Amino acid sequence: MNAKPSTQAAIADFTSARKLIELLARIHPLLLVYDAHGVIRWISDGFGSLCSDAQAMLGRPLRAMLPKLPQGEPLEDLRSRFEERGFLPNVLLDLETHDGARLPLEVSVLRLPESEGEALFAVIARPGDAPGHEPAEAASSILESAPDAILAVDPHGFVRYANAALARLVAEDRENLRNRPLALLAAGSRDIEQLLAPLGGDGPSGELELRLRRSEGGPVPVAVTVSPHHDPDGNLRGAILCVRDATTQRRQNELARRNDELEHCVQTLAHDLRSPLVALLGFSRLLRQDYADQLDDTGAHFIDRIEQAGRTMEALIHDLLELSRIGQPGERPSIVDPRAVLLQLHAEVKPRLEAADIELVLPVDPPLVFCDRTRLYQVFSNLIGNGIHHMGACKGARIEVEVVEDEEFHRISVRDTGRGIAPEHHLRIFEVFQSVGSRRDGSHGTGIGLAIVRKIAETHGGRAWVESEPGHGSTFHVTLLRR
């Protein structure tokens, strides 16, 4: 086994920071590490080759290697900037080389993870007169128009180009980003490792999920793809990084996860409630059948109230389960004739229509729609049932169903001549447990029917909405994506 260079022996003392230091050293030839007392604890081979006595520098103050460190107010200003942002980019300093000459350096400072409670800092340097390169004018124009943020770095991990989208993403001036070590853009040590690993040759080549620093506000989650950049002769010139803001996607994933948890909770709760509810309704029926002659009017009224509450709870559990099942695996969308579904439903609700003296008008030859048949039945059932329940007292009560198609969607419309709905309630009524007013018989629904309609529409690529004014009836619309 080869022994470590003596200038790097001190890295063994910092196990928690060792991996990151080694990764930085593979990308940045000029790297040294110092502690909170300004004492040099580790020097890269590249830095060591410039010093007159690299071994003697270990354990000595940083000023011994960089004699022209700022003094007084400039130093305090640098310290303040470092404390505020956690890093310090692109400071011009001089290094005293082994032959006594002064080499201008562009230095950046990065805070490393603490090791055994001790603060460590990395100095990443590049020659102050090192040439850079910009993309050709035509390529630069294309990159500026790209919707995603794009970075170009050289083989040593220094930013050579950042497009406008990248500057907006990290809220930085583009000129300030140029020549900055790539590591200074990462929000934390884990993010640095993920970002630099592909450049060091031992990281994943796919899409990386990490966080970047922002000059304003907290870190921003991003997805990064790193691609090596070679010249025509095959020599590595650096890498191109495509960066995409993952904030929205992360929020959507988190929302989807919470929705899944909520739906699972609803399913579990609904199933657990069914058993005691069945017992409650069963015993109330036994009381009515076996003890009716022993109950006075008040007792019979109490049993009526128990059964009514039980049936309401039964309907609520049923609707909750249906709401949670919509969109689950097992549904089979197919070409469905809506008239056949409507005729079935019409036969079922005919007694209620006749009792309320409501006319139901169905389309004669509607277009076929692409939907799970059970879900289409639920859409019609909830919308027509909603019209019956909230018709109110009116002459010529009427519910009319229409199904039309355009290039992209089938649209179902259910119009009624009922009481109408105030505009401020148009969105709220599609939420769970939300309803407006009581039914014709004075009772209240579960407040889930229209939420079921909306979820069915959304899982079939469409949406649901209402057009209504008080006293002028309502028209509920549902769109379903065509096949």
Tens digit of pLDDT at every position of the chain (483 positions): 344 444 444 544 555 678 888 888 888 889 988 888 888 888 888 887 877 666 777 888 887 777 666 655 566 777 777 877 778 888 887 777 767 777 888 889 988 877 666 788 889 988 876 655 555 555 566 677 677 889 889 888 899 889 988 988 888 888 888 889 999 999 888 888 888 888 876 655 678 889 998 887 788 899 998 888 887 888 888 888 999 888 877 778 777 787 777 777 777 777 777 778 888 888 888 988 888 888 888 888 888 888 888 877 777 777 777 777 777 766 788 899 999 999 999 999 999 899 889 999 999 999 999 998 889 999 999 999 989 988 877 788 999 999 999 889 999 999 999 888 999 999 999 988 777 766 555 556 677 889 899 999 998 889 999 999 988 899 999 999 987
| Count of CB atoms situated within 10 Å of the CB of 438 | 12
Phi first, then psi, for residue 172 (nearest 5°) are: -130, 155
Cα dist. 138→10, 80, 143 in Å?
48, 41, 9
Q: What does the angle CA 206 – CA 210 – CA 214 come to, to the nearest 5 degrees?
A: 135
Q: Does CATH place domain 251-325 in 1.10.287? A: yes
Q: Report helix angle 373-389 to 338-356, nearest 10.
A: 20
- Domain positions in the chain are 6-127, 137-245, 251-325, 330-483
Pick the CATH number of 6-127 from 3.40.50.920, 3.30.450.20, 3.40.50.2000, 3.40.50.1100: 3.30.450.20
CATH number of 137-245: 3.30.450.20
Among 369, 384, 370, CA closest to 453: 384
CA dist., res. 60 & res. 51, Å (int): 13
Q: Does CATH place domain 330-483 in 3.30.565.10? A: yes
Phi first, then psi, for residue 462 (nearest 5°) are: -120, -155
Please indicate whether the domains covering 6-127 and 137-245 agree at the CATH topology level: yes
